[in-house]
Amino acid sequence: MIPEYIISFSTDDIPIEKVDCLIIGSGVAGLRASLELKGLNILIVNKESILDSCSYNAQGGVAVSLSPGDNPQLHLKDTLKAGCFLNNVESVKILVEQGPARIKELISWGAEFDKENNDFDWTIEAAHSAKRILHSHGDKTGKELVRALLKKFHETIGNKIAEGYFLIDLVAIENKICGAILFDKKKKKNILIYAKKIILASGGASQIYQETTNPFSITGDAQSAVLRKNGILSNMEFIQFHPTTLYLAGAPRFLISESVRGEGGILLDKQGNQFMEFYHPLKELAPRDIVSRAIIQHMKSTSSHCVYLDIRKLSSSFIKKRFPGIYKTCLQYGLDITKNLIPVRPSAHYVMGGIQTDISGRTSLLNLFACGECADAGVQGANRLASNSLLEGLVFGEIAGRTVREEIEKNIYNHEIQTSYLLKQKERLFIDCEDLRRSIKSLMWKNVGIERHGDLLKETIERLDNWTRYVFFKEFFDISGWEIQNMLILGKAITVSALRRQESRGAHYRIDFPQTNDVNWKKNQIITKTDLYPDK
């Protein structure tokens, strides 16, 4: 059984547009890619709005080796160590060597980073060996980067962003991508966009977990579309769980930035005792996977639902200036972080794996590129170094955009416009999508979360397959049904990859295989549609 979408339309009765390049996603990676395409007919689409992205919501900062005493080689070393040496060294070199130019460029476009005594206010985060984190307006770095890039986009490209367009599926002739089918949420109509090139920059997939920091819209739609077209994903077992997200009844799992611990925040249990020293010599500044597992294990040993982050030793004025967004959000829920402990627990945050690309952003499918969190260019390895994600979006977004431009100018796109779309037999069945969404998220959190075991992974695959049997091959008329299908595909991709990797490395921890096995598993894993749904 190979799942396919059922889409009821023909090209005779829906709007059709033709562009040189379609960019799906308007976070840092997509916006930076677009700036390389001046003069071409391009269109950026996003699922919700410009402000609904992980980039925009990024708090902590952006890592770049520009501070005194730092250099790209140190940044390279830290990134490889955090990634458990599963990174592509060439990709990481590109990141750390081109990163400074991308940040300087951004500053020249008007991006503002916080300063102290006429110099940048550099800070440190977990697993970094130097102060190399730039932040903006305290804890609003992502907002500032998106603001600066949007300003440059409108000056350079114009107003070519369409909000509220959901990616239903990619259109392909054999293995050549030639367009995309989108759902216009405002008009509630399908639209077909033909493109010489498509850049996917739509973010991760952490909404498949019950506890997550990601916006509600981040359901892995682009990654699922690539699998349906026989494309390749890689390293999907590596999901980073952020150690500290706000844990209050009725409040969203709001991220409490890594920088809070970088500035001196300590973790306490319900008895008020520090505990990280028992799990790692770096204590609160250990890599994220270690801190997350330590919190989970300590919660179990103390029969607790959460632990507490304490920043009360910092001055009230410093907290309000350095973390204004966190302070304001917590205060809305009756929590004054200048006086009170912050209840926290881990949540799914970032997918290290994704659509496999080369160093230029090319995927396994012709004419299709990917960058940012939805892609796996080999930068992050088994565990992302804190604050590398915004830098990756800038660096590899620029590279993908530049490569697309070069190929379009050389007429390298190798496809003709097709004039019809295969219709499939429709079948109707009522499905409570919200109930199924909750079930998928709960299952993934319980069985494929911070700690994993082979027996539970097998059980998860069986349950996902059972849901797939009656969810696929049905027609839906709003995005909830399509999202459920994408969540089932990505959930299975993550689970199958986790079951195969019989070791513990980085963000992937197997209770039944707790040791790292370099002999057999110091390698990347790929996953295809056939791996998930072999023909029977």
- For residues 123 and 70, give the distance between their C-alpha atoms in angstroms, rounded to a whole number: 12
Which residues pair with residue 356 across a beta bridge? 376
Neighbours of 289 (CB within 10 A): 27
Residue 228: closest CA among 2, 426, 23: 2
E strands in 296-388 = 307-310, 342-351, 354-356, 368-370, 375-376
> What are the Cα distances from residue 113, in Å, to 61, 142, 258, 325, 391?
9, 11, 17, 16, 14
Q: What is the C-alpha separation between 516 and 300, in angstroms, rounded?
A: 24
DSSP structure class, residue 109: T
Distance CA 6, CA 8 (A): 6
Query: Contact 267/306 with Cβ under 8 angstroms?
Result: no
Element (H, E) at 464: helix 454-471
Closest CA to 183 of 198, 164, 166, 170: 166
Instruction: Provide φ and ψ at 23, rounded to 5°.
Output: -110, 125
Question: Strand (E) positions, 354-506?
Answer: 354-356, 368-370, 375-376
Q: Alpha-carbon distance 418 to 180, whole Å?
A: 12
Residue 239 φ/ψ, nearest 5 degrees: -110, 125
Distances (CA, A) of 12 to 8, 174, 191, 290: 12, 22, 11, 55
Residue with tokens 């993934």: 444
Give Cα 215 distance to the centre of its chain. Answer: 10
Residue type, 194: Y
Looking at residue 276, the DSSP 8-state letter turns out to be: G
Amino acid at 352: M
- What totals of helices (H) and strands (E) does the chain contain, helices first? 16, 19
Nearest to 340 by CA among 251, 459, 238, 246: 246
Give the C-alpha separation, 360 to 421, whole Å.
31
Does the active-site annotation cover 288?
yes
DSSP string, 126-186: TT-SS--EE-STTT-HHHHHHHHHHHHHHHHT-S-EE-SEEEEEEEEETTEEEEEEEEETT
Among 102, 288, 362, 501, the active-site one is 288
DSSP state of 372: G
On the 0-12 / 13-18 / 19+ scale of CB atoms within 10 A, 351 is: buried
Enclosing H/E stretch for 99: helix 89-108
Structure-block tokens of residue 351 = 């997918």
Pairwise CA distance, residues 180 & 222, whole Å = 11
By annotation, the residues acting in catalysis are 288
